[in-house]
Amino acid sequence: MKFLRGTFFLIIASHAFSTLCFAAHPLITDDAGTQGKGKYLFELNGQTGNETERSAEGSNTDTTAKERGTELRAALTYGVIDNVDVILTMPYQWKKTEVGDATVSDVSGVADISVEVKWRFFEKDGLSLAVKPGITLPAGDKDKDLGTGRATGTLYFITTKEIDPWAFHLNLGYKRNENTVDEREDIWHASLAGEYKVMKNLKLVANIGAERNTDKSSDTNPAFILGGFIYSMRENMDIDFGVKGGLNKAQADITYLAGIALRF
């Protein structure tokens, strides 16, 4: 039972690696770009992943715990002025946890909604700097592990450097994780991403990062590596695909990401 409890909480923690700092999908790391005054960006992104944990070698039991998680996320960005965006994001999640042949949890529903503001305050010679404060609203059911039960706040510092055909992005962030589910409250985030323009309509992307674990019982911080592409079908329409792998046991083993972005 000790293994089962520990595994369950570890798996739950592995899917807590999410931030308000959403980027050009499938990247986790955001860029310093904004939409421009009066312009909109609508994004519909999905991801599905799994995590498997087996009982320790030498244990009296041979038990496997599996969690499958899927998320569909809709986000609308509006350019208030040329260098300031407002972003509203609503996620819907499905989570299923199995221990051995038994299903111990099978839930779905709206998760916590987020509102962010991105301000690009510097831009020169391909270097852009931005800050991105945000909050989450406790719309998700905390008893189903779909929310924290309280509003949370975040602040990110974003750096972008463009050296055609390359672009690099760095995010450093802090989350005040107010909650009623006994998670850590002070969460840091650090991640780095790169883009390479293969041709006019196609970019290859890569991403690596880590974040402090929200699970108080673990000192292992979730870390990931990601690779994928962004393809511009039209000037105002992008599609993307990515694969994210966990670099340690606190992060989901593998997650597949896909999305579409429309500008108008």
Rounded to whole angstroms, how far apart are CA atoms 37 and 207? 29
- CATH numbers and ranges of domains, the chain: 2-52+63-263 (2.40.128.130)
**pLDDT tens per residue, the chain (264 residues)?**
443 344 443 444 334 344 455 579 999 999 999 999 999 999 999 999 988 776 655 555 567 888 889 999 999 999 999 999 999 999 999 999 888 778 888 999 999 999 999 999 999 999 999 999 999 999 999 999 899 999 999 999 999 999 999 999 999 999 999 999 999 999 999 999 999 999 999 999 999 999 999 999 999 999 999 999 999 999 999 999 999 999 998 998 999 999 999 999
Scored b (16 or more CB within 10 A) or e, 198-221 reads eeeeebebbbbbbbbbbbeebeeb
